[in-house]
Structure 1
């Protein structure tokens, strides 16, 4: 009976030691942002190289383990993956496409073969909301970071990098101690709890994820992340606006010029004459002559008739030399539009010839 009591006492002592060990073990904190990714690194002892590893969420040390991913088995979702570096004795769990609901308590677990007596490391995952800010190339921008009152005396800083671990070593970094770094400068208003970062002469390369953070002096490696900014710098917006304005102005000018020339053309009546060739009909004297294509000289004849049925142009040669006739037929119902008639030319066999044997004639352009 005494032996049984001793066993119970030993069991209780072991349970108490395990609980105390869990509570005193350091909690590892990882911070990431929405739509980003995080790598949770879980160290373990070398004797557990061949043992199964896993990541569980919530009350993992209890009987039921909510495992989101484990080695040797498929993960619960495509966003989770696990890799084991047995040389470094660290297994890494990667979570991608992070959401706010992913925030919370996790446990890195290593199976020991003693049922519930697995080895655990507590993890706290923090997911930051992303504020999206836009700017134009060549201009300047102000980024405001709001911090809590307990961080009033801490060193404030801003750095660039999707992963905070990369952000810590980023070359683009300005702080309340180093107030200026190239085009980046920082001013801290402790009374309002807001520090402001100014970026001058923006470029497209300034686009990316920025972290506002704070740390106690002398403990810069223990950063406290305040907020996340997704900065997008557009280089072509101003140029596109200017191009659209120029195209609009040129289009309007071209359209106005077209209308002006059209109206002027109608007013002056400079549309081209439609000239056709063919056999002549109803010429004076009833002559029916063969139509030929000839080289002709012409002069303008302006008609003073407003409503003629037809206009007859007499020969330009001698009285009995009727080698050339032009018949201008105008429409019987004239309108406001400029109309031109077909002009037919005829020639006799005794028309003038040039030195090289080509026939010539004179003809006129008739305008109503």
Structure 2
């Protein structure tokens, strides 16, 4: 299973291509939502494409043995585990999970992401289509990045001095494992109150921070 390289903001969409073995070509494929597979909720499946809501869609390319699941109108509530599944029988379904994290921040502020792992491998924080950082303190596209590995089995990434250009998809990378993180930075606006004389009444100074 692989995750497509997309860059969207809150309200956008993500598509996940799910690979399967050729002998599963005629089996039903589905997208399941939930932390544990045994109790996850199927939100889209190939044998009932018309029952899918506008938020979810699924398409099976049997020529390439890939089915693609899409999640639309992303919000922070979509930050959890999802499963690509192939229906076999009873509890023998073939499945693979991916974790999606949708993060929102404000311009000029900072955001911290915790990336959990089991094995001590090379730690990276990457921006899709751009570069990666591995050192404790670097920057990506001008946004300062600090990585903390002091806690076992987890590394935290803090991006500070955020701008709207910092918005996009990033990766937590630990060896060959990757977890996509969507960071959305909103422009912070504030209104400054001023004393107005009759000649300036009706004008308002608006400051963007």
Do Structure 1 and Structure 2 share a fold, with TM-score over 0.5?
Answer: yes
Relative contact order, CA 8 A, sep 6+: which one is greater?
Answer: 2
Q: Secondary structure at the residue paired with 2:177?
A: coil
In the other structure, the counterpart of 1:55 is: 30
Give me the whole-angstrom Cα distance separating, in 2, the residues matched to 1:150 and 1:47: 32
Q: Determine whether 1:120 maps to 2:75.
A: no
**Out of 89, 105, 116, which is 1:132 matched to?**
105
**Out of 132, 137, 142, which is 1:183 matched to?**
142
> What do the CA deviations read for 1:245-293 (whole angstroms, capped 9, x no partner)?
59x457259xxxxxxxxxxxxxxxxxxxxxxxxxxxxxxxxxxxxxxxx
**Matched residue pairs, number?**
188
Residue correspondence of structure 1 range 225-264 to structure 2 within 5 A = 228-233=182-187, 248=196, 251-252=199-200
- Asked whether the 8 Å contact 1:107–1:120 carries over to 2, the reply is no
User: Normalized against structure 1, the TM-score is what?
Assistant: 0.38
Residue correspondence of structure 1 range 315-326 to structure 2 within 5 A = none
Give me the whole-angstrom Cα distance separating, in 1, the residues matched to 2:179 and 2:83: 20
Q: CA deviation at 1:82?
A: 1.9
Residue correspondence of structure 1 range 194-205 to structure 2 within 5 A = 195-199=157-161
Residue correspondence of structure 1 range 1-368 to structure 2 within 5 A = 36-49=12-25, 51-55=26-30, 57=32, 58-59=37-38, 67-73=42-48, 74-98=50-74, 100=77, 103-104=80-81, 106-110=83-87, 116=89, 120-134=93-107, 141-145=108-112, 147=114, 155-157=123-125, 159=127, 167=128, 169-170=129-130, 174-176=133-135, 179-181=138-140, 183-190=142-149, 195-199=157-161, 206=165, 208-209=167-168, 211=170, 214-216=172-174, 219=175, 221-224=176-179, 228-233=182-187, 248=196, 251-252=199-200
Give me the whole-angstrom Cα distance separating, in 1, the residues matched to 2:141 and 2:79: 37
Give me the whole-angstrom Cα distance separating, in 1, the residues matched to 2:99 and 2:3: 6
- Asked whether the 8 Å contact 1:102–1:127 carries over to 2, the reply is yes
Instruction: Go from structure 1 to structure 2 and tell me whether the alpha carbon gap of 1:177 and 1:36 turns closer, same or farther (over 3 Å shift).
Output: same
- Asked whether the 8 Å contact 2:166–2:185 carries over to 1, the reply is yes
